[in-house]
């Protein structure tokens, strides 16, 4: 009889356990262990029923209590509430805002461990296509960012300056400090914030659409030490001469951008130079030669100048061009990649949809005395679909594509597959969309994916760049 009772109890508890596993877990706090870090920098955990749960802030091997906020059939998402068992690899973050600010993801790990995590998840995404090389590391781990966009906000009646809180568009973290931004930016931010409060100039309010200061956009040419300040305000006239006089000692270029629109994006209604030169000039050394590039307030430039030199030299190495080659540079921006390679090829043709970027590219042609590059303001899709004869380019066509995070569109992929380019270099800032595009290209059977080299341009974050070499099959 006793054995029967035990058996009944065991059966009951087993059935209860199964019932609990099938119960919805949304809004419940459960205990999970992090198996590994996956792209984009998320902790992959496993629930008791085997379903994957994704959260943020955990390192591999750590156990934690997590609040389930999304409960789907195939996965769950949760918010970290409490770490119950910490990894010996965990370190104290440098920044007091880590975990609250949306900028950094990995300050709780050493740079060596950050590289390890990135190597693992980029290999998981891309090693099926070709061997993935060791990550080329950033020369600077802190204070490497050459561009920051800060937002003004009201903090208990005072004008403050900061970055968006993680996952929020209307809540902010006060800065400085910001430990991945160039050190000069902290001083400039202090000056502007103090000026706002001394002169009772409030932050713009997105709901009432009242207030003055909206954004502060700072740029620095790290290799030449030139700084550009762009003060973005509401469409209200205020005398900023005292502020400009104070900033003159810290910047070579100061702009005012007035934005009277309801949108909180940095857009231009009235745009004028208040002091100094129209542009700052950055220097990049590629292939043993110095190239100079003008940076205006709204032109695109890679945010890690030292890392950019490593990235572009890797592109040059992978391309291995000859003097007979014509290089087509799609999504060329201000022409930095194409112009850095111009001395190694017969001709460079750059395509970019932003007209101001093309104007910058043409100016960069002039200041570098390059005579074999031309640039066109159009989308890559327009170039791909218009009747542009590839035979007028050259039989030795090579292509570099550096698309946005969304990757290549179908029209551009079709163009590449029909181009008969002997070499394609795909520069990607998003390994997920890169994997999607490489899968399509690989299935065509026309190109061999030779190798993949990751380049870390963004220490303390989950982001990673990749340089992919594709060669046409004989």
Q: What is the pLDDT of residue 2?
A: 43
**CA gap 389, 426 in Å, rounded:** 22
The DSSP code sequence of 43-107 is EEEE-TTS-EEEESS--TT-EEEEEEEEE-SSEEEEEEEEEEE--TT----SSTTTTTBSS-S-T
pLDDT in tens, 290-303: 999 999 888 889 99
Per-residue pLDDT tens over the stretch 28-87 = 999 999 999 999 999 999 999 999 999 999 999 999 999 999 999 999 999 999 999 999
pLDDT of residue 14: 43
- For the chain, helix (H) and strand (E) counts, in that order, are 10, 21
Tell me how crowded residue 422 is: count the other CB atoms within 10 A of its CB: 17
Which residues contact residue 458 at a Cβ distance below 8 angstroms, ignoring those fewer than 6 apart?
138, 303, 304, 464
Angstrom CA distances, 26 to 57, 71, 304, stand at: 20, 6, 40
Alpha carbon 469 to its chain centroid, in Å, reads: 21
pLDDT at residue 113 is higher than 90 = yes
When the pLDDT of each residue in the chain is averaged and rounded to a whole number, the result is 91
User: What number does CATH give the domain 116-139+304-472?
Assistant: 3.40.50.150
Please give the pLDDT value at position 52. 96
Instruction: State residue 54's pLDDT score.
Output: 97
| pLDDT band of 432, cuts 50, 70, 90 | very high
| 77 within 8 A of 53, measured Cβ to Cβ | yes
CATH number for the domain whose boundaries are 21-90:
2.40.50.140
Output 449 or 474, whichever has higher pLDDT: 449
pTM: 0.90
Say if residue 305's pLDDT is above 80. yes
- Could you report the per-residue pLDDT of 4-31, keeping only the tens digit for each? 444 444 444 444 344 445 578 899 999 9
Q: Which residues of 184-218 are buried (b: 16+ CB within 10 A; e: fewer)?
A: bbbebbebbbebbeeeebbbbeeeeeebbbbbbbb
**pLDDT greater than 70 at residue 204:** yes
CA distance 66 to 81: 5
Q: Which DSSP string do the residues of 403-453 spell out, in sequence order?
A: --TT---HHHHHHHHHH--SEEEEEES-HHHHHHHHHHHHHHTSEEEEEEE
Rounded CA separation 243/248 (Å): 9
Q: What is the pLDDT of residues 349-402, one digit of tens each?
A: 999 998 888 999 999 999 999 999 999 999 999 988 875 555 455 568 999 999
Q: What is the DSSP string of 194-234?
A: HHHHHTT-PBP-TTT---SEEEEEEEEETTTTEEEEEEEE-
Q: Model confidence over 439-459: pLDDT tens digits?
A: 999 999 999 999 999 999 999
Q: CA-CA distance, 178 to 288, in Å (whole number)?
A: 33
Residue 50, burial from CB neighbour count under 10 angstroms (0-12, 13-18, 19+): exposed
Q: Are 423 and 470 in contact (CB under 8 A)?
A: yes
Q: What is the pLDDT of residue 255?
A: 97
Find the catalytic residue in 47, 101, 104, 429. Answer: 429
CA distances from 363 to 283, 294, 345, 350, 383 (A): 14, 8, 20, 13, 22
Q: What's the DSSP call for residue 346?
A: S
Q: Which burial class, exposed, middle or buried, applies to 259 when counting CB atoms under 10 A from its CB (0-12, 13-18, 19+)? A: buried
Long-range contacts (CB closer than 8 Å, 24 or more residues apart) made by 47-51: 47/76, 48/21, 49/21, 49/22, 51/75, 51/76
* pLDDT at position 24: 83
Asked, colleague to colleague, whether 21-90 and 147-278 share their fold, the answer is: yes
Region 262-289: what's the mean pLDDT?
A: 86
CATH top class, domain 147-278: mainly beta
Q: Tell me the pLDDT tens digit for each residue of 148-183.
A: 999 999 999 999 999 999 888 788 999 889 999 999
Give bridge partners of residue 128 from the DSSP assignment.
none
pLDDT at 236: 87
The answer to whether the peptide bond before residue 172 is cis (omega within 30 degrees of 0) is: no
Write down the pLDDT at residue 268: 63
- Quick check: helix, strand or coil at residue 397? strand
pLDDT at 394: 53
Bridge partner list, 426: 401, 468
Domain boundaries, the chain: 21-90, 116-139+304-472, 147-278
Q: What share of the chain is helix, strand, coil (3-state, %, to 5)?
A: 25, 30, 40
Is 429 a known active-site residue?
yes
């Amino acid at each position: 009889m006793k054995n029967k009772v035990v058996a009944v109890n065991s059966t009951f508890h087993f059935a209860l356990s199964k019932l609990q596993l099938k119960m919805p877990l949304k809004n419940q706090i459960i205990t999970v262990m992090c198996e590994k870090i996956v792209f984009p920098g998320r902790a992959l955990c496993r629930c008791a029923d085997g379903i994957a749960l994704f959260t943020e802030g955990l390192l591999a091997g750590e156990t934690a209590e997590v609040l389930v906020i999304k409960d789907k059939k195939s996965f769950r998402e949760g918010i970290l509430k409490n770490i119950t068992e910490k990894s010996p690899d965990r370190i104290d973050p440098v920044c007091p805002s880590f975990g609250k600010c949306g900028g950094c993801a990995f300050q709780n790990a050493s740079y060596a461990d950050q590289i390890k995590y990135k190597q693992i998840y980029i290999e998981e995404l891309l090693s099926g296509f070709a061997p993935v090389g060791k990550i080329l590391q950033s020369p600077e781990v802190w204070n490497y960012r050459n561009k920051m966009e800060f937002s003004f906000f009201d903090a208990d009646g005072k004008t403050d300056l900061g970055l968006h809180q993680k996952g929020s568009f209307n809540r902010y973290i006060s800065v400085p400090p910001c430990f991945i931004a160039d050190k000069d930016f902290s001083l400039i931010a202090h000056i502007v914030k103090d000026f706002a409060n001394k002169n009772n100039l409030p932050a713009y309010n997105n709901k009432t659409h009242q207030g003055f200061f909206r954004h502060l956009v700072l740029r620095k040419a790290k290799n030449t030490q030139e700084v550009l300040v762009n003060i973005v305000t509401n469409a209200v006239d205020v005398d900023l001469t005292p502020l400009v006089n104070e900033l003159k000692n810290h910047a070579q270029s100061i702009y005012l951008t007035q934005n009277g629109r309801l949108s909180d994006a940095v857009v231009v209604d009235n745009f004028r130079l208040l002091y100094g030169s129209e542009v700052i000039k950055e220097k990049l050394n590629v292939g043993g030669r110095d190239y100079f590039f003008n940076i205006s307030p709204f032109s695109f430039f890679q945010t890690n100048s030292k890392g950019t030199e490593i990235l572009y030299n890797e592109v040059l190495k992978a391309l291995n061009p000859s003097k007979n080659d014509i290089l087509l540079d799609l999504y060329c921006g201000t022409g930095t990649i194409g112009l850095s390679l111009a001395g190694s090829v017969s001709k460079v043709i750059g395509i970019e949809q932003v007209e101001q970027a093309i104007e910058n590219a043409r100016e960069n042609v002039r200041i570098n005395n390059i005579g074999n590059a031309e640039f066109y303001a159009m989308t890559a899709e327009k170039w791909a679909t218009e009747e542009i004869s590839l035979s007028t380019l050259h039989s030795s066509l090579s292509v570099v594509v550096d698309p946005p995070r969304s990757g290549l569109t179908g029209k551009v992929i079709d163009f590449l597959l029909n181009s008969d380019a002997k070499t394609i270099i795909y520069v990607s800032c998003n390994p997920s969309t890169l994997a999607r595009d490489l899968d399509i290209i690989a299935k065509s059977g026309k190109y061999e994916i030779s190798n993949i080299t990751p380049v870390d341009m963004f220490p303390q974050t989950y982001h990673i760049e990749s340089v992919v070499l594709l060669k046409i099959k004989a």
